[in-house]
Structure 1
C-alpha cells in the first residue's frame, strides 16, 4: 500500500515509517515546514495551510493516510489554544477536504488521543463509548478533529478510522514529555553536570503506558483492518503511577537522586487517572510485543543502563 504519513518527522512518525517500510509498504513522508531540507524525498508543508495540504495529497496519490501531524503537548496547549486548534482541528479538516476531492477512496487513520476522556475513575478503564470530557485545548482540539472525521465518513463515505492512543514511550521522544525529561535529568546527574536533584511535576497521576513500537503496529493494523467510522483505543490497559515509572528509571539507571516537586511542571488541569481498555483493538488481533521496561531502557540510552541484577538506588 502507498501510505502518506503526516507528522512523519515526529516521535511516533519515525517509528511508524520504519515499520511500514519493513512491512513492504511504500511510504510518502510529510514533514512540517520547519523540517524542509532534512529529507529531500519528503513533502514539507504546514498542515494548517489548506492549499499546501491539497497540493501534497495530489502529489502523493496515497492509498492510505495515517494522520499524525499536530500540536502534541498537552501542557503547552494551554498557552496557545488558537494555534492548537488551527493545527489539530483545522489541519485535519484541510486533509479531509483534500482527500475527499482528490482521493475519495483512500483509507484514513486519524490519530486522536486518550486525553479526550478526561478523568477516568481510578481502578476503571475507559472504553470507546465513554463520553469525552476534555480538560485542555489539546484534548478539545482532538475531539473536534474526531467529529470532522466522523462527519466526512457519514456524509461523503470517506473511509475514516479513529485511533485514541494513550501514553507511549521509546527512543526519540521530545524531552519536554515527562519520561524523557526524567531521563535527561538523570543523564545530567550521572555526568556530573547537575546536582543530584530530580525535579518533577505530579507523581501521583496514574497513566497507561505502551512501547511506541506496539503503538505504531496498532496504527498499521487499524489502517488496513479498522472499521471506518469506528474509534479504537491504543493502550495497554495497565495502570502505572508516574512515581512508579520514575522509581523504575532510577533502578534501571543506577542513579541516586533526591526528588523535588517543581510547581512550574504542574498542569493547570491535571487528570488524576487515565487508563484505557484495549479490548476492541485486541479483537482485531493486536497484541503488544514490547515491554514498558524495554521502552524505559531505550529512553535512558546506553550510558544510563545499570547492569542486570544491579541493586536499586533509592532517592
Structure 2
C-alpha cells in the first residue's frame, strides 16, 4: 500500500514507519520536527519503501493538498501532534491548532481522496481508573488538560467522518508508551528519564507523592497495535485501547530503576519534588485491552522488566547520555 505517516520522525512514529517498511509498503513521512528528530529515521533512508521525507506542517493546507494528490495514499497514520501536557497548559492555542485543527485538515484530505485514517489519541483523555478491571473504551473521559481536550475534540472530528461520510477511521488510545528513541529530558517518558539519570548517577526526581500509577506499554508492542489497526476493517468506526494490562506506582518504578544494573551498580537517590501540573494528574491508569484482543488479536509481548532492559541498553549506547 501507499501509506502516509504524520509525525513519522517522532518516538512512536519511527517505530510505526519501521514496521510498515518491514511489511514492504511504500511510506511517506510528514513531520515538522517540533517533537521528532530526523536522526530517528536516518536508518531508513535508501530503503526502497521510503518514498519521501517531507519536513512540513499539518496546518499547511496547500502542502497537504499537493502531497495527497501526489501520494495516492491508501492509509494515513496520523500521529503528528503537540504532546506535552505542560506546554498545553502554558500555551493552549498551539496545542489546539496542531492537535484539533491540524487533524481537521488531515481528515478533509482523507475524505476527498478516500484514505483510511488511524488517529493516534492518548490514555490521557480518561478519568482515573476506579478498580482493577482496568479502563475500557466506555470509561468516562475527563479533559484535565488542554492537551486532553484537544485530543477529545479531534477524536470526535475523526469519528464524525465515519458516521457522516462512511470514511474508514479508527481512534487508537495507547497507554503510557516507552522505549528506545524516546526523549530522556524535559517531559519525555518517565522510564527514559529515570533510566538516563540512573546510568549517569543522578538523583531520580518524582513529581508529587509518587503514588500515581501508570500502565507502561513497550513501544514495539504499541507500534504493532497501531499498524494492525490500519490493516483491519474490524476496527473501523471504533475507539481501541492498548496497554500492558498492569500498572505500577511511580514510586515502585523509581525503586526498580534506581536499584542499579551491570553498567552502573550504584543505587541512586530518589527525591520527591513539587508537581508541575497537579491539576492535570491522573491518579490511576490501568488499561483493559480486551477489545484490541477481540478485534485485532493483539496483546502485549514485552514485559516491563524486559522493556526497561531494552530501553536502558539503547540509552546507554545512544547520543542521549
**What count of residue pairs does the alignment treat as equivalent?**
297
**1:17-53 deviation per Cα after TM superposition (whole angstroms, max 9, x unaligned):** 1111112222111121667987683022111222222
CA–CA separation in structure 1 for the residues paired with 2:312 and 2:134: 29
**What SS does the corresponding residue of 2:227 show, helix, strand or coil?**
helix
Q: What is the distance in 2 between the residues matched to 1:233 and 1:282?
A: 10
- TM-score, normalisation: structure 2: 0.86
Q: CA deviation at 1:234?
A: 1.3
Counterpart for residue 57 of structure 2: 46
Within 5 Å, give how 1:117-156 maps onto structure 2: 117-156=126-165
Aligned residues of 2:196 and 2:315 also touching (Cα < 8 A): no
Alignment equivalent of 1:94, drawn from 105, 108, 116:
105
Kept in 2, the 8 Å contact 1:33–1:46? The answer is: no
Unaligned stretches of 5+ in structure 2? 46-51
Aligned to 1:79: 90
CA distance in 1, matches of 2:170, 2:27: 19
1:56 to 67, 80, 87: 67
Aligned to 1:159: 168
Unaligned runs of 5+ in 1: 306-315
1:312 equivalent in structure 2: none
Give yes or no for contact 1:169–1:292 (8 Å, CA) kept in 2. Answer: no
CA contact (8 A) 2:32 2:55 kept: yes
- Is the 8 Å Cα contact of residues 9 and 37 (structure 2) preserved in structure 1? no
* Separation of aligned partners in 2, 1:122 and 1:83: 35
Q: Does the Cα contact within 8 Å between 1:200 and 1:265 map onto a contact in 2?
A: no
Which whole-Å CA distance do the structure 2 matches of 1:216 and 1:137 have between them? 25
After TM superposition, the score normalised by the length of structure 1 is 0.87
Q: Give the CA deviation at 1:274.
A: 1.3
In the alignment, which residue of structure 2 is the partner of 1:244?
252
Q: Note the C-alpha offset of 1:141.
A: 0.6
Kindly indicate whether residue 266 of structure 2 is the aligned counterpart of residue 260 of structure 1: no
Alignment check: 8 A CA contact 2:116 2:168 kept: yes
The residue number in structure 1 matching 2:124 is 115
Shift of 1:62: 0.9
Contact 2:254 2:270 in 1 (8 A): no
Secondary structure of the structure 2 residue equivalent to 1:42: strand
Within 2, Cα distance between the matches of 1:32 and 1:47? 8
Query: Could you tell me which residue of structure 2 aligns to residue 313 of structure 1?
Result: none
Which residue does the alignment assign to 1:310?
none
Partner of 2:235: 227
For the structure 1 residues 221 and 300, does the alpha-carbon distance in structure 2 shift closer, same or farther, using more than 3 Å as the test? same
Question: Matched residues in 1 for 2:102 and 2:89: separation?
Answer: 19
Higher mean Cα deviation, 163-172 or 124-133? Answer: 124-133
The answer to whether structure 1 residue 13 and structure 2 residue 9 are counterparts is no
Q: 1:301 and 2:313 equivalent?
A: yes
How far apart are 1:276 and its partner, in Å? 1.7
Counterpart residue number, 2:181:
172
Structure 1 pair 227/82, CA: closer, same or farther in 2 (3 Å)? Answer: same
Alpha-carbon separation, structure 1, partners of 2:83 and 2:136? 22
8 Å CA contact retained: 2:204, 2:258:
no
Do the aligned partners of residues 148 and 170 (structure 1) sit closer, same or farther apart at CA in structure 2, a change above 3 Å counting? same
